Amino acid sequence: MKYIVGFLRIFVGIFFIISGFIKLNDPIGFAFKLEEYFGPTVLDLPFFIPYALGISIIVVVFEVLLGIFLIIGYKPKFTVWSLLLMIIFFTFLTFYSAYYDKVKDCGCFGDAMKMDPWESFGKDVFLLVLILIIFFGIKHIKPFFNKLTTTIVSLLSFIACLGFAYHVLMHLPTIDFRPFKIGNNITDKMIVPEDAPQPVIEYTWTFNENGTEKQYITDGSYPTSTGEYVGVTTKTISEGYEPPIHDFSIEKDGEDFTQDILTRPNVLLVVNYNLAKSESDGLVAVKQITDKAIANGYDVIGLTASGPDEANGVISNYKLGFEYYFCDETALKTIVRSNPGLLKLEKGTIIQKVHWNDVDQLMLPKVDRPAPKVVDDGTAHIVDNKVLNKEQFEALELSEDQIENVFVFKDASEVKTVIDSINVADGKNYTSIVKFVTKKTE
């Protein structure tokens, strides 16, 4: 028993240190997960949501310290009892999430390793068994060092955890496990391979046949039944392949600009997942750095999940020189753990990513902004005072018998005012006009 407990204290201790450190590296990400648990669809504890970040830091620091305490043998009773109570709570939480299908990813290992609720529950049950063995063999846990050294190691560990947590909060996670990390191309991470597994969905159809409800199960096809249709339910058997980035888009006024912006060179993205929660000092820093970026030839694009009125208010209050586009809030929270945060892109590839505290680290050398392409739309065809482009005119298939007069204006200076008014009204760049007057049919 002595050797079993000795091995398990090291194994469980390392496990808790790794699990806790991954979350300590990204306490804001863990806070977002806690907000999900506190939400109305899971535990329905909304009064905890404002304190999610504080709770996140306390939990992950405690998790790391318990792993260290268990290994060095600091206060064995306190440590083992704390581990036991913690794992019992998490086992209940993961079972609740799995059984009632409340949370798809437990967040136990942050973004480093995704686990579905049943996998997480199994992991917690396994740890519970190991911790129970340690609990019943607690007499075999002896400190590796003398009392003073053990206390000093414990205190230094606590200070180091707090210092590391403060560092990643004021900057960004030291290790980025998310698909939006530096070096990744966003477009590439959104691609679904042709041979990717497709989702498997089971359809249960219900029909009323001669007063009795009968069910048919298919893969989606409508079943053959002479009864009256009652309803259908679906059950996902297999999720299929989901690309690392699957909920990212850039929209404005109902139009999708995602591919347009991701193919541009020299782009600076300003991410504010919620403008109402943005740091005021951060927006001041954004104003300064984006003015420099614009002057140096960069396209500056704001991304937010807030509404247009709120976005326009922030632009006006801080005199920002760029516009905000809409993007899903969850995606924005995933992109950068800072509100606001900034990303430098080169044709969709993330070159730099910084917290607003570190905007001075952005490298924004002057670049040549490509001249806008001027499209020559050719000749405007005016038929009985109606402006048509070439394709629309050819579709009329006018014959010589139908045309009374034709006026050709090859020199744009002759009718500059007319051409300018047509171009402004139609959003075109016509350079000449051909006017047709058709014969009136009696």
Between residues 297 and 423, which one has the greater pLDDT?
297
The residues with which 201 forms a beta bridge, in sequence order, are 236
Domain at 251-361: CATH code:
3.40.30.10
Helical packing angle, 52-72 and 27-38, nearest 10°:
120
Query: CA-based Rg of the chain, rounded to a whole angstrom?
Result: 32
Is-contact 142 73, C-beta < 8 A?
yes
Report the DSSP pairing between strands 386-388 and 379-383: antiparallel
What does the pLDDT look like over 342-386, one tens digit per residue?
A: 999 999 999 999 999 999 999 999 998 765 554 555 777 788 778
**Cα–Cα dist 60/66, whole Å:** 10
| Residue whose C-alpha is closest to residue 196's, from 242, 163, 160 | 242
**Cα–Cα dist 52/30, whole Å:** 9
E strands present in 140-252: 200-209, 212-218, 228-238, 251-252
What does the pLDDT look like over 143-189, one tens digit per residue?
A: 989 999 999 999 999 999 999 999 999 999 999 999 999 999 999 99
What does the pLDDT look like over 96-132, one tens digit per residue?
A: 888 887 777 777 787 878 888 888 899 999 999 999 9
Q: What global pTM score does this model have? A: 0.76
**Cα–Cα dist 294/75, whole Å:** 58
Cα 93 off chain centre by: 25
For residue 250, is pLDDT > 80?
Answer: yes
Q: In the prediction, which pLDDT does 268 show?
A: 97
Cα 6 off chain centre by: 43
For residue 423, is pLDDT > 80?
Answer: no
| Residue whose C-alpha is closest to residue 174's, from 116, 110, 120 | 110
Q: In the prediction, which pLDDT does 413 show?
A: 58
Phi, psi torsion values for 329, nearest 5 degrees: -65, -40
- Positive/negative CA dihedral, 115, 118, 119, 120: positive
Tell me the domain boundaries of the chain. Answer: 2-170, 200-238, 251-361, 379-438
